[in-house]
């Protein structure tokens, strides 16, 4: 009797090991360190917890960079002064860090908008 069970293919890449995840994690660490920020200081600027930022920067099978919400990626880019696309480009980040590419963002995140009462 032939085997009729559905066969599932193994994932092509283990979670968190995709080249995009590796590049962005490396770039985030490089940008943070180039500013002299600790994990806690960067998390404060990015308005995330230090644990969340550590998850973005380090290999985590539970969370891949590609699974981040667009708002989070946009905030990371804005605070670090790079374009969204540059976060994925190791050469662009090296140019930013070396001062060969101008910064796009402010050093401080935008203040929170208060709701009208």
Beta-carbon contacts of 104 under 8 Å, excluding residues fewer than 6 positions away, are 77, 78, 81, 82, 83
| R_g (Cα) of the chain, nearest Å | 18
Judge whether 60 lies within some domain: yes
Judge whether 105 lies within some domain: no
Judge whether 87 lies within some domain: yes
Domain residues for 87?
A: 19-97
Judge whether 59 lies within some domain: yes
Q: What is the CATH number of the domain that holds 28?
A: 1.10.260.40
Give, in degrees to the nearest 5, the angle at Cα 92 between 90 and 96: 115
Q: How many distinct structural domains can be found in the chain?
A: 1
Predicted pLDDT at 34: 92
pLDDT for 46-86, tens place per residue?
A: 999 999 899 888 876 666 666 777 888 889 999 999 998 89
């Amino acid at each position: 009797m032939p085997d009729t069970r559905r066969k599932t293919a193994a994932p092509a890449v283990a979670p968190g090991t995709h080249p995009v995840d590796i590049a962005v994690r490396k770039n985030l660490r490089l940008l943070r360190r180039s500013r002299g920020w600790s994990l806690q200081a960067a998390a404060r600027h990015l308005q995330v917890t230090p644990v969340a930022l550590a998850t973005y920067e380090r290999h985590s099978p539970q969370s891949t960079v590609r699974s981040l919400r667009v708002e989070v990626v946009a905030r990371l880019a804005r605070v670090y002064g790079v374009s969204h696309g540059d976060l994925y480009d190791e050469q662009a980040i090296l140019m930013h860090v070396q001062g060969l590419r101008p910064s796009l963002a402010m050093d401080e995140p935008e203040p929170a908008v208060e709701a009208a009462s």
